[in-house]
């Protein structure tokens, strides 16, 4: 499949086009366009994860405690949790909306005795067909229940309810870093990078230690107080391949997705923000200007037929009115979700080429996908007993 050349030389130029053609109504149209670009980075990351078969493991914006320090939690964009299918449930379209309360009343879930005060105020699918991705139904001690839409027809559809363990096996966060047009280089994005780096370094039992020769060492403590120590990435690979509950039960693989903001660095020419993030996340992926540009070009500027519904949802979300957004990682119009799933499913090889691996050096995206698949398929019930 041939790659469409980006119509504009940089993301900055795309932001200017969005500012002029979509966000002209906004008081600060450039800022609004910048926020929309951030949303698009999150959308690309989310649908890539879905294409990799991880949707039923994903939770969105859940608080994640620091390792061995439950008093401090951090919201992470995407966390991937061990999950177990509980039940597939059929619904009729004339029973919309599908709320958490309705889901909990299903005869297959009533036996769980879900406390009313644990139910979330969420709807998997609204009356106007807005889908909630990774819809949390309730929290139950060491697990929480999520509902995911499976399929929908003219009269009825199906969704499944999954039990997800609170502790994830991986997290993904998205960061746009660089300097905004018209501003001098200041603390804005470096502080955001440091915040992301802090979270990446504090949530997993596998700790990073800088050695005197500049290399990265890894340290993980076992329950008897003894330590495993070695080269960080070798030790990480050992933990991922292991079935040892002491190594796996509190390990979390951390991944960051960064994109340009200001076109003053590349995946090869790292600035300070990128270096801070690269030494903190286990995996750091750079979403290239060309990749974002191709997506925006096919979504908005020279729309692909496959993305027509997604474009309509995007434009309907940015009209200047409050409460109409239907194109985010959390809530998205059902037709837009179907369009994006089709687009990503048919072009995933091209889309994966939009990501450059910054860290670990010399590794390919295929290795990350394999590590995620390995972690997903562990016997977590046995590991957490």
**Cβ 20 vs Cβ 304: under 8 Å:** no
Q: What is the pLDDT of residue 324?
A: 77
Is 211 inside any structural domain? no
Statement to judge: residues 18 and 160 lie in one domain: no
- What is the rounded average pLDDT of the residues 155-169? 96
Statement to judge: residues 260 and 353 lie in one domain: yes
Beta bridge partners of 269: none
Statement to judge: residues 161 and 174 lie in one domain: no
pLDDT at 98 over 60: yes
**What would the pLDDT profile of 172-210 be if each residue is shown by its tens digit?**
999 876 555 444 444 456 777 888 889 999 999 999 999
- What is the rounded average pLDDT of the residues 271-288? 87
Is 222 inside any structural domain? no
Strands 135-140 and 207-210: unpaired
Is 220 inside any structural domain? no
Q: What is the pLDDT of residue 68?
A: 93
Statement to judge: residues 192 and 159 lie in one domain: no
Q: What is the pLDDT of residue 354?
A: 95
Statement to judge: residues 191 and 116 lie in one domain: no
Q: How confident is the model at residue 5 (pLDDT cuts 50, 70, 90)?
A: very low
Statement to judge: residues 367 and 312 lie in one domain: yes
Q: What is the pLDDT of residue 3?
A: 45
Question: pTM above the 0.85 mark?
Answer: yes
120 phi and psi, to 5 degrees? -90, 155
Q: What is the pLDDT of residue 182?
A: 44
Q: What is the pLDDT of residue 15?
A: 78
Q: What is the pLDDT of residue 188?
A: 55
Is 347 inside any structural domain? yes
Q: What percent of the chain has a predicted confidence (pLDDT) above 90? A: 66
Helices 11-21 and 29-51 sit at what angle, rounded to 10 degrees? 120
Statement to judge: residues 139 and 180 lie in one domain: no
Helices 334-352 and 308-317 sit at what angle, rounded to 10 degrees? 120
Statement to judge: residues 262 and 360 lie in one domain: yes
pLDDT at 341 over 60: yes
Statement to judge: residues 24 and 38 lie in one domain: yes
Is 6 inside any structural domain? no
- What is the rounded average pLDDT of the residues 167-171? 97
- Encode burial over 289-308: b for 16+ CB neighbours within 10 A, e otherwise: bbbbbbbbbbbbbeebebbe
CA distances from 234 to 63, 226, 228, 293 (A): 29, 19, 12, 36
Is 63 inside any structural domain? no
Number of domains in the chain: 2
- What is the rounded average pLDDT of the residues 128-148? 96
Last residue within a domain, chosen from 165, 193, 226: 165
Residues contacting residue 338 through CB under 8 Å, at least 6 positions apart: 309
- What is the rounded average pLDDT of the residues 94-100? 96
- What is the rounded average pLDDT of the residues 301-311? 89
Last residue within a domain, chosen from 115, 150, 165: 165
The overall average pLDDT reported for the chain is 88
Q: What percent of the chain has a predicted confidence (pLDDT) above 70? A: 91
User: How many Cβ atoms are within 10 Å of 188's Cβ, its own excluded?
Assistant: 14
Q: What is the pLDDT of residue 1?
A: 40
Q: What is the pLDDT of residue 326?
A: 93
Is 231 inside any structural domain? no
- What is the rounded average pLDDT of the residues 67-84? 96
**Cβ 133 vs Cβ 43: under 8 Å:** no
* Highest mean pLDDT of the ranges 26-30, 266-270, 335-339: 335-339
* Residue range of the domain that includes 95: 83-165
Q: What is the pLDDT of residue 201?
A: 94
Statement to judge: residues 275 and 176 lie in one domain: yes
Q: What is the pLDDT of residue 184?
A: 45
Is 123 inside any structural domain? yes
- What is the rounded average pLDDT of the residues 138-166? 95
Q: What is the pLDDT of residue 185?
A: 45
- What is the rounded average pLDDT of the residues 277-296? 91
Statement to judge: residues 340 and 354 lie in one domain: yes
Statement to judge: residues 340 and 269 lie in one domain: yes
pLDDT at 322 over 80: no
């Amino acid at each position: 499949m041939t790659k469409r050349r980006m119509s504009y030389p940089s993301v900055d130029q795309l932001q200017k086009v969005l500012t002029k053609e979509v966000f002209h109504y906004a008081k600060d149209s450039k800022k609004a366009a910048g926020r929309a670009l951030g949303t698009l980075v999150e959308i690309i990351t989310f649908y890539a994860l879905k294409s990799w078969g991880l949707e039923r493991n994903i939770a969105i914006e859940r608080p994640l405690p620091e390792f061995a320090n439950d008093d401090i939690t951090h919201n992470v964009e995407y966390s991937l949790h061990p999950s177990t299918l509980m039940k597939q449930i059929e619904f009729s379209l004339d029973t919309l909306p599908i709320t958490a309360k309705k889901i909990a009343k299903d005869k297959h879930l009533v036996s769980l005795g879900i406390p009313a005060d644990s139910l979330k105020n969420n709807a998997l699918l609204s009356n106007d067909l807005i889908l909630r991705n990774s819809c949390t139904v309730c929290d139950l001690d060491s697990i929480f229940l999520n509902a995911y839409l499976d399929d929908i027809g003219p009269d009825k559809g199906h969704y499944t309810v999954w039990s997800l363990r609170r502790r994830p096996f991986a997290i993904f966060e998205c960061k746009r870093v660089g300097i905004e047009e018209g501003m001098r280089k200041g603390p804005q994005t470096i502080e955001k990078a440091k915040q992301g780096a802090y979270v990446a370094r504090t949530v997993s039992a596998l700790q990073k230690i800088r050695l005197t020769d500049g290399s990265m060492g890894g340290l993980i403590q076992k329950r008897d107080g003894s330590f495993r120590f070695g080269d960080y990435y070798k030790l990480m690979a050992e933990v991922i391949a292991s079935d040892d509950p002491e190594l796996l039960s509190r390990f979390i693989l951390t991944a960051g997705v960064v994109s340009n903001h200001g076109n003053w660095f590349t995946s090869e020419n790292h600035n300070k923000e990128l270096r801070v993030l690269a030494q903190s996340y286990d995996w750091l992926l750079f979403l290239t200007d060309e990749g974002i540009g191709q997506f925006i070009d096919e979504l908005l500027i020279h729309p692909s037929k496959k993305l027509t519904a997604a474009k309509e949802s995007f434009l309907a979300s940015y009209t200047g009115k409050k409460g109409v957004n239907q194109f985010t990682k959390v809530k998205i119009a059902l037709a837009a979700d179907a369009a994006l799933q089709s687009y990503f499913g048919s072009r995933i090889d091209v889309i994966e080429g939009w990501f450059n691996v910054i860290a670990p050096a010399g590794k390919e995206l295929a290795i990350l996908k394999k590590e995620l698949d390995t972690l997903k398929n562990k016997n977590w019930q046995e590991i957490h007993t």
